[in-house]
Each structure stands twice: as structure tokens, then as C-alpha cells.
């Protein structure tokens, strides 16, 4: 993060995607000083936020499963309610889908 202290007003910081609460990216967006090596630093460099995401939306995930037509779908990314709902919806469409709970064990044969 030391490079930020060397930027000037002719530079620009691009923030892409969700900035987790408490991180320097979020602090910058909130107009708060960031922390570098345990010290607070007020950023004078202009910044811009772009709402990019590395995650597919729900419709994209359903479309992917439909097109790829897998033998089994194991839903593990997201909170338990969302993964359970995703698996249940896929089952209604005829897919073999599971949303394991924390601690569940699945045997996968290749």
C-alpha cells in the first residue's frame, strides 16, 4: 500500500467491485483515512468506483447449469438459505442438486 503515498492529484485510484467494510477501499469510499503499516493516511488522490463483479448473478447461474447440464450440482457458495433455495429450484427442474450444510460430508466419485 506504500505506493498510494506516492500518488498525486494527477493520478487516479480505480476501485472495482464490492469494498468490504473496514478495508482501505471502503474507508476511501467513506472519505475516511486509510491505514498503511498501522498509520492513518488521508488520501488526496481522486478515486472512482466501478461496480464490477467477479460473481455471476442468479439468472446467470441458472443459465449456466441449464446449458452445461451437469450430472450433479453441489451448491456451496453463498449463505445457507440461498444455496438451499438454489438447489431446491434446480431439483424442480430435474437436476440432481445438493446444498450441503457446514460439516456435511459428500463422497464424490470421478
pLDDT above 70 as % of the chain:
98
Q: Is 68 exposed, middle or buried (CB count within 10 Å of its CB: 0-12, 13-18, 19+)?
A: exposed
Amino acid 28: pLDDT: 94
Which run of H or E residues covers position 61?
helix 58-68
d(CA 52, CA 85): 25
Helices (H) and strands (E) in the chain, counts: 3, 6
pLDDT, position 110 = 62
Q: What's the predicted TM-score (pTM) here? A: 0.53
Question: 64 with 46, same domain?
Answer: no
Indicate if 44 and 75 belong to the same structural domain: no
Is the model's pLDDT at 52 over the cut of 90?
A: no
User: Does the pLDDT value for residue 100 go beyond 70?
Assistant: yes
Q: Is residue 103 part of a domain?
A: no
Examine the domain organization and report whether 63 and 39 are in the same domain: no
DSSP assignment, residue 108? -
69 and 92 share one domain: yes
Q: How many residues does the chain have?
A: 110
Domain coverage including residue 40: 2-50
- The total domain count for the chain is 2
71 and 46 assigned to the same domain: no
- Calpha distance 24→35 (Å, rounded): 7
| Same-domain pairing of 38 and 9 | yes
Mean pLDDT computed over 82-90: 95
Q: Is residue 21 part of a domain?
A: yes
Task: Indicate if 8 and 34 belong to the same structural domain.
Answer: yes
Phi, psi (degrees; rounded to nearest 5) at 99: -125, 85
d(CA 27, CA 33) in angstroms, rounded, equals: 7
Identify whether residues 66 and 28 lie together within a single domain.
no
Residue 67 lies in a domain: yes
Three cell numbers written together for 103: 460439516
- For residues 8-33, average pLDDT: 90
pLDDT above 90 covers what percent of the chain?
57
Q: Could you tell me if residue 43 is inside a domain?
A: yes
- Per-residue confidence at 1, pLDDT binned at 50, 70, 90? confident
Amino acid at each position: 500500500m506504500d505506493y498510494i503515498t506516492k500518488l498525486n492529484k494527477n493520478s487516479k485510484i480505480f476501485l472495482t467491485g464490492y469494498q468490504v467494510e473496514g478495508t482501505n477501499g471502503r474507508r476511501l469510499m467513506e472519505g475516511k483515512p486509510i491505514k498503511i503499516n498501522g498509520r492513518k493516511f488521508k488520501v488526496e488522490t481522486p478515486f472512482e468506483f466501478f461496480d464490477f463483479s467477479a460473481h455471476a448473478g442468479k439468472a446467470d447461474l441458472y443459465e449456466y447449469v441449464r446449458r452445461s447440464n451437469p450430472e450433479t450440482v453441489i451448491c456451496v457458495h453463498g449463505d445457507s438459505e440461498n444455496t438451499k433455495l438454489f438447489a431446491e429450484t434446480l431439483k424442480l427442474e430435474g437436476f440432481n442438486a445438493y446444498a450441503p450444510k457446514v460439516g456435511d460430508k459428500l463422497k464424490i466419485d470421478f
